[in-house]
Each structure stands twice: as structure tokens, then as C-alpha cells.
Amino acid sequence: MPRVFTTATDDAIIDMIRSARNRLAIIGPGVTTPVAEAIADRMSDLSVLSLTVILDADPEVYRMGYGDTEALKIIREASKAAFFDLREQPGIRIGVIISDEHTMVYAPVSRNVEAGPSAGERPNAIALVGAVTDAFAVAAGSTPHPEHVGGTEVQQEIGHQALAPKKVEAMEADLHANPPRPFDLTRRLTVFVTEVQFVELRLTNALLSSREVRLPQHFLKFNDARLRQDVKSTLKIPIDLSEKLEVGFTSHLGEEKLKVNEADLKGLRDLIEQRYFYEWKGRGKIILRKDKEQFKKDLERLLELTRAYQESLKSQFQQMKAEFRESVVKEFLDFWKSEPPEHVRLSGATSERHCRQDIEKAADIMFEKAVTLGMPEAKDVYKDISIEDLKDETLMTELRKLMERAGVAEQTLSKLFQSGDAVAVQGSLL
């Protein structure tokens, strides 16, 4: 007894097309090139064969992988040569093959997601024989008038519209302008998008060591360029960022107390990137999607630690400000007295006391600007792998090697680095 649950492989569909003697109907969103060639061959038998072909005229059918654009061309040219009218059913997403008394109803496969079935172990079709085939044939318009099947009148339900040549031309022009991507690469891209992303980490307001004192223009009006550079290099904020401060903060690990300095914060950031990021030479850094949640937790912990450290550092700012103020006065007081800046001369207050007060005020402003960072923030930016990346075999080989060296699980590697058809064997990853 033939199987009821079967597999709609190209070979199985072609066998039904070739074996038809009196009646043949092919219904679906689109067909593959081998199936189209088999249909084209049967158009020479129209004198003895009742043939019906119903397809969708939407170009998205081909971009989604329900058919081949080459198949469309083959069927169109064959139908023109045989004066055969193709039929159209917008939005159809099931497949039906009627061959004499045999019917196969199947689920078309989007080859952007998985490869088409190649064996009976993956059933996607139901095989029917007998009177029900007559009902399918009438409903599909293979029989031009209503018939009674099993005591019930059946009428044509789909394929009322002819697939006009102009509509086919418009579909071909659309596909030429925006052709489908290669199905094997699209399937691989689907796997990568579910597993891997590019990542870029930006931290702002996190490090004081990256800040410098910005001197107002009237502090830099020296004729000697070397003197200007010397002044800039000597006016450093007197903050000892190497000293470890004890800080308390809350993270996903609970309440924590640590002794840290700025170097420790930089080291923790580096450690996070080393743990979660993979440097793909020439392309950027990537992260496994499975690691993103933990990465975000560790990143937030770093931010909380940085905020606590900076808060603790602020307790020293008043003393630091006083030291910085004195260093600026020492550097500029004599110059101020001998060549007062224009705003000091215009005020008429050019005594040593007034010059000192003017420098101290400017020094306090400089200090505040230099140490005011705002709240530490992180921005993690993600971008998906592109199909162009997958085309570069050298890049993909390098990526696999670096992920192997990083100890990525073999199960994950087997999903990412495989031939196109292997995606379907692995099962759905969406």
C-alpha cells in the first residue's frame, strides 16, 4: 500500500508529472527549475492531456525561496510556444499535484529557511487516490464545469484568472531589479543571525585620566611656543588615580565591597571584552547571542563600580582643588603682575592681591571643568552579520579558527559553519 504521509521531493513531483496520461494539474506559489522543465515537456501532449498550471504572480514568492526565477522563464516560454494559458492564484501557499487518479498535497518549503526535502524521512505531503482527486481537479479548474463528487456538487475555487503575459513580464522585471539572494547563503545567514552579532562598546565619563586641563586663551599668550607647551604639561590635576579606594556598590552579584583604582576599572573593562568579544580580523568584534544577557549584567556591574569609585574620589576634590589653585598661582602670578591680561587692566585692579584672586578664580573654574564627568554611561551597539561576509571564505575560515581557539562549543560551531543544505538537517533555529 502506498504511503499516505510522504515527501514532496522534486523527483516525486516530476514522477507524477511524467506519469500523467489524461489529467495533470500543478498548483503552488512557484516551482523549481527541474519541475518547470518537466512541466514544459508535457506541453507537447496538450492534444491528449488536460493540463492546468496555477501559480502566484507575486515576485516575493521567488525572493522567499518558493520557486526559481529560471523556472518562471522556462514555463513562460514553453506556454507561449504551446499557446497554453497559465493561471494565477494570488497568495497561494500550498502545493497540489494531480496526476490522473493520484493527488499529492504538500507544504512548499521556503529555501531561504531550509533546503528542500530530499528523502522520505521528512514528510511534508499527503498522497491521495480515488474520488477525492476528482474533487481536487474540479476545484482547481482542471474540469471546466461543476461535477458531482460523492453526491456533492463541486465547483472551481481557484485559478479563475489567467496569468497574463504583461503580469509575468512585470514580475520578471521586478526580480531582475531586485533578484533573490542565493538560497544556500540566505539559510546560512539565518543561522548566523540567530547565533552571532557584531558588537561595539562605547564607555563615556568613565576615566578621569583621559581628561586634561583646558587653559583659557589669556593663559596661553606667550611668544615662546616651548613655554606654552611647558605650562600646559605642568598644570596637571593633582589626583592620584593609582591609589586604591574602598567602595561599596550593588550588582547582580549582590552587595559588594572592593578596593579599586582607575587601572582596575580599565582592567575590568578589558576582561569583559576578552570574555565575550571575538576579534574578527578586518571586520570588527562579534558576540554570541547566548552571551549577551550575561555580558549586559557584567557591563552594568562595571558601571556601578565606576560610579561608586568616582563618588568616593569626589571626597578628595576640595583638597585637590586647593593644591591645583596654588600650582596655577605659582605658575602665573609673576607674569600676571608684569603683563596683566586685558580684562585685568581694564578693571584697574592690577595689584598682586587682585592678580592672585583673578588667577584663583580661573583655576577653580578650570578644575571643575576638568573633574566634572557626568554619570558614567555605556552604549553597546549591535549589527547583524551580512550575506557578503558569508561569501568571503577566507574571512569565514578565520572566524571559525578564532572561535575554536576561544573554546566555543562544537554544537554552536556546527550550526554556524556548514554547507547550505545542512541547515535543514539541524532542525529549525528560529
Residue 115, pLDDT above cutoff 70: no
Confidence label for 44 from pLDDT (cuts 50, 70 and 90):
very high
The three cell numbers locating residue 212? 586634561
| 418 DSSP 8-state letter | S
Query: Using 50, 70 and 90 to split pLDDT, how confident is the model at 314?
Result: confident
Q: Which of 88-92, 138-142, 272-276 has the highest mean pLDDT?
A: 272-276
93 DSSP β-pair partners: none
What's residue 119's pLDDT?
A: 56
Tell me what pLDDT residue 118 has. Answer: 59
Structure confidence at residue 117 (pLDDT):
61
Q: What is the pLDDT of residues 397-410, one digit of tens each?
A: 888 887 787 777 88
Average pLDDT, the chain: 80
Between 41 and 213, where is the model more confident? 41
The single-letter DSSP state of residue 45 is G
pLDDT in tens, 278-309: 888 778 888 988 889 999 999 999 999 999 99
CA nearest neighbour of 60 among 185, 181, 193: 181
Residue 112: what pLDDT?
A: 62
Query: Could you please report the per-residue DSSP string of 112-176?
Result: TTSPPP-STTS--EEEEESHHHHHHHHHTTSSSS-EEETTEEE---S--EE--HHHHHHHHHHHH
Q: What's residue 419's pLDDT? A: 47
Radius of gyration of the chain (CA): 37
pLDDT score, position 146: 55
Percent of the chain having pLDDT more than 70?
84
- Report pLDDT for 158: 73
The single-letter code of the amino acid at 150 is: G
The region of weakest confidence among 69-78, 210-219, 264-273, 357-366 is: 210-219
Query: What secondary structure does DSSP assign to 194-243, as a single string?
Result: HHEEEEEEEEES--STT------GGGS--S-HHHHHHHHHH------TTS
What is the per-residue pLDDT across 166-221, written as a single tens digit (0 to 9) for each?
787 787 787 777 776 666 667 677 777 778 888 899 888 777 766 666 777 777 66
Residue in the structure block whose three cell numbers are 578586518: 282
Going along the chain from its start, the domains and CATH numbers come out as 5-180 (3.30.870.10), 200-378 (no CATH)
Grid cell digits, residue 338: 608684569
Q: Measure the CA–CA gap between 27 and 160, rounded to whole angstroms.
A: 13
CB of 38 closer than 8 Å to CB of 18 = yes
- The pLDDT assigned to 147 comes to 57
Q: Using 50, 70 and 90 to split pLDDT, how confident is the model at 423?
A: very low
CA distance 346 to 340: 10
Does position 145 have pLDDT exceeding 70, yes or no?
Answer: no
